[in-house]
Structure 1
């Protein structure tokens, strides 16, 4: 894989994937969210994913397997946050994510604030919200 463009400044989520699930996570994010992997590094053991950089819906998400030897917690389920996808068609993105294995945790529905919105949990414990403006007419 060629060296990617430089990382832009800004806030970029960096996900730690429990166990050795990083490579499976990349494949899940491809299937569920149309992710494009821009860069990948394997650890010295040749198995664990040290770093992957993905483009999802125009934004960057980075991830790696957990590395307890570097002080990362082992098998900690993330809480209190969600990665938000503002998309062109929430129903399409929702269906693709659920077909790929995401589990609905808040049903996709028209919300009072004007979005069609719902939340799914990916197989690695990360919550994703999916939304698009309610279609009128």
Structure 2
């Protein structure tokens, strides 16, 4: 196994019914940064969205589940994303249309976090992960 940690080695992936709309939402509401998007018009074959503290997600348009090697269905994704500003991010996400699933809370393990759903129904948890912020 390589010791090279400069690039993320795990890329969660999700499918979307309206991938261009979801990309716009994820960048506006949460602050992901669009790295690459392949596809014509509203079709998205592959996209990568980076998270400012490291890592990111891969996104693609709807495929027939039988043709998708991972069997992914739009609206079934969930992830925990580390942030150093959960209160500000929660306000930004809700203002952009994210649906609160669990309001801001302080956990017994030292994290301040929340859960919201994006327009496709995917669940996004954001928090300080026990007070540890990625560098």
Matched, 1:40 2:28: no
Are the equivalent residues in 2 in contact too, given 1:53–1:60 (CA < 8 A)?
Answer: yes
Are the equivalent residues in 1 in contact too, given 2:14–2:60 (CA < 8 A)?
Answer: yes
Structure 2 unaligned spans of 5+: 1-6
CA RMSD in angstroms, aligned pairs only: 2.3
Structure holding more strand per residue: 1
What is the DSSP-based 3-state SS (H/G/I as helix, E as strand, rest coil) of the residue aligned with 1:125? coil
Cα distance change on mapping 1:74 and 1:82 into 2, 3 Å: closer
Cα distance change on mapping 1:33 and 1:85 into 2, 3 Å: same
What is the DSSP-based 3-state SS (H/G/I as helix, E as strand, rest coil) of the residue aligned with 1:49? coil
- For normalisation by structure 2, the TM-score amounts to 0.78
Cα distance change on mapping 1:41 and 1:95 into 2, 3 Å: same
What is the DSSP-based 3-state SS (H/G/I as helix, E as strand, rest coil) of the residue aligned with 2:27? helix
Runs of 4+ in 1 over 2 A off after TM superposition: 72-77
Separation in structure 1 between the aligned mates of residue 21 and residue 44 of structure 2, nearest angstrom: 10
Matched, 1:12 2:22: no
- For normalisation by structure 1, the TM-score amounts to 0.77
CA deviation map 1:78-98 (0-9, x unaligned): 1xx621111111101111111
Matched, 1:124 2:123: no
Structure 1 unaligned spans of 5+: 1-7
Cα distance change on mapping 1:62 and 1:111 into 2, 3 Å: same
State the 1:64 CA deviation. Answer: 0.9
Q: How does 1:56-71 map to 2 (within 5 A)?
A: 56-57=51-52, 58-68=54-64, 71=67
